[in-house]
Structures are given as C-alpha cells and as structure tokens.
Homo-oligomer: A and B are copies of this chain.
C-alpha cells in the first residue's frame, strides 16, 4: 500500500484524491492546503483524513510514500524538491516547473534518489491521444506535414501564468508524445487585454525537422469553446475534436496528388484524393485513472513514466521559448539541442 499525501486541494486536487483512492495500492492519508476552507471540503469528502496547512510537515511525514502536488506553478519546484529530498515519489500537476533550469534540478534529484518524478500531462493518457500516437507512429498518415491545434473558450483567467502556460501546455505535451520529437525553434505572438494581466491570447508556431510545422492557438476570451486538432500527413489526415461526445478522432483518407493542369497557364491543379473517413473506437477509461495506475506501476517497477521529468522538461522548454518569442512579437527562438539531464 502506497500512502499518498495530496498537496493543493483547489480545482484539480479533489480529482487526484478521488482517483488515488479508487486505484488499488494507493491510499490518500493526508491533504495539505493553505486555505482552511479547502481542507474543510476535503474532510467532507474524505471523513477521517488528516488535513493540514503546514505543507512542510506533510512533506516530511515518514508514513507518506508519495506526494501529488496540485498547486500554482510557481510553487512546484520548492514543494517537489522538498518532497524528493524527503524520499517521496512525486506526481506534479502540469507544467512540471517554472523554468527548464528548475526542471533539470528536479530530474537530477529524482534520479539520484531513484524516485519516480512524473508530471500530470493528462491528455497523453486519454484514449484519443493514445490512438492518435499509434496512427502517427505506425506511419498510417504517411509523411507528417503539420499539427494544428485550437484550444479556446471563455473562462478562467490565471494571474500567475499566461495563456501559453495554462492552455498551450496541454498541446505541447500532446505534441511531444505524439510526434516523439522536439521542435527546433518557435515563433509566437500574443496579447493581453486585461491591464497588467498576463497574455490571454497567443499563437505559437513550432518548427520541426523535415518540414513539419505545428501551430497552437490558445485564447481565454473566446465566445465558443473549441478543442480541435488537425494532423496532416501525405497519406491520411486526422481531425481530433475533444468536445465530440463520441467519434473524437476521425481519420480521413484524403490528400493531394499533382495532376496535369486543366487550366493551362492559369493554375496547376493539385487533385483531391478522397476516400473513406473512419472514426476508430477509443478507450473510455478516465485519463487520470490510467495515469494514476501508471504512477503506481512506475513506483513498483522502477520504470520511467511516459510523462516523466524529461517529458516535463521538454514541454517547459517549449513554454519558455514561446513566451520569450511572444514578448518579442514573433522573433524566432531556437531551442537548444542539449539533451536533458545528462
């Protein structure tokens, strides 16, 4: 039985606690939060659980084996480092840390102590993204052309991070998982419409090898909610709409082929190649459940998590580069080629 402490019981913490309690092998024994009202909510849901506002003491408890941290990003490094130093396995809400330098240090600390460091890139554990990764990696799409995601809605403005760190982090994590490569450079633009607040709209282009281009559009101020990703290849293309109740992933047997022009001097016609569309059945298990089970498996087996520190670091690097480019209105920012944590 792995005894778990949950730190941060705001929006996401209750989901973590619920899933840890429902997965065999885990038991949540303590919840820490700076807000007494949140601890009261935790007690109401989990009668008899220990609650505390003294996070340091929770992280030091010898009877706790693993810590799940769902606090603002700015606190991730301090809390996770302290937990690792106390010998705890750590699951951190996304993004892993506020900087790649912090991420590096967490990775090193976990490696030195042989502890599991995992970041909650929830989407990579969904049936949809798993199916998409299979399709891309198996070559079903042919040569990869582009990855394009829109993630917009009206809602929660964050005060400590911009819309890139809040929303685009999901897309970067999915891209990292599906494409299995890192971009060489990014160019981003964006703007803030709340005086003194972080940017609430951003557009990020990421350049990969082999003419692969990715683009992410995130916006906290949209009148409609959209969660749609297009992935184009030379043989097939994918539309992934996360808001579809079913058929979230559609695979189009469509593409282009160069043909002789029908219009002579006027235009070269690139012919439609259109075939069937196909929406594969997807695993329906709640992603967070799958993820917590994977965390359990990694603690037991010593395996590296799918969304371990390195994945978290790669995503933080893109976040850093994107924010930097956005501040400079699109200036291309190269990502260093240095491999992580070696």
Number of copies of this protein chain within its complex: 4
- Report A50 CB to chain B, min CB distance, Å: 16
Asked whether, in the complex, the Cβ of B222 is within 8 Å of the Cβ of A237, the reply is yes
- Report A183 CB to chain B, min CB distance, Å: 12
Query: Is A62 part of the binding interface, using a Cβ–Cβ cutoff of 8 Å?
Result: no
Asked whether, in the complex, the Cβ of A267 is within 8 Å of the Cβ of B156, the reply is yes
Considering the complex, give the chain B residue whose CB is closest to the CB of A75. Answer: B265
Q: Could you say which interface size class chain A belongs to?
A: 35 or more
Query: Is A34 part of the binding interface, using a Cβ–Cβ cutoff of 8 Å?
Result: yes
Q: Which residues in window 312-334 of A have CB below 8 A to B? A: 325, 328-332
CB<8 Å pairs between A and B, sample of 18: A72-B266, A145-B193, A154-B255, A155-B272, A156-B269, A157-B256, A158-B267, A158-B268, A185-B329, A187-B329, A187-B330, A191-B213, A193-B234, A220-B270, A221-B237, A221-B256, A223-B230, A278-B279
Q: Please give the residue numbers on chain A whose beta carbons come within 8 Å of chain B beta carbons, in ascending order.
A: 8, 10-11, 34-35, 47, 71-72, 145-146, 148, 150, 152, 154-160, 185, 187, 189-194, 201, 203, 205, 207, 211, 213, 215, 217, 219-225, 230, 232, 234, 237-239, 243, 245-247, 250, 252-256, 258, 263-270, 272, 274-281, 325, 328-332
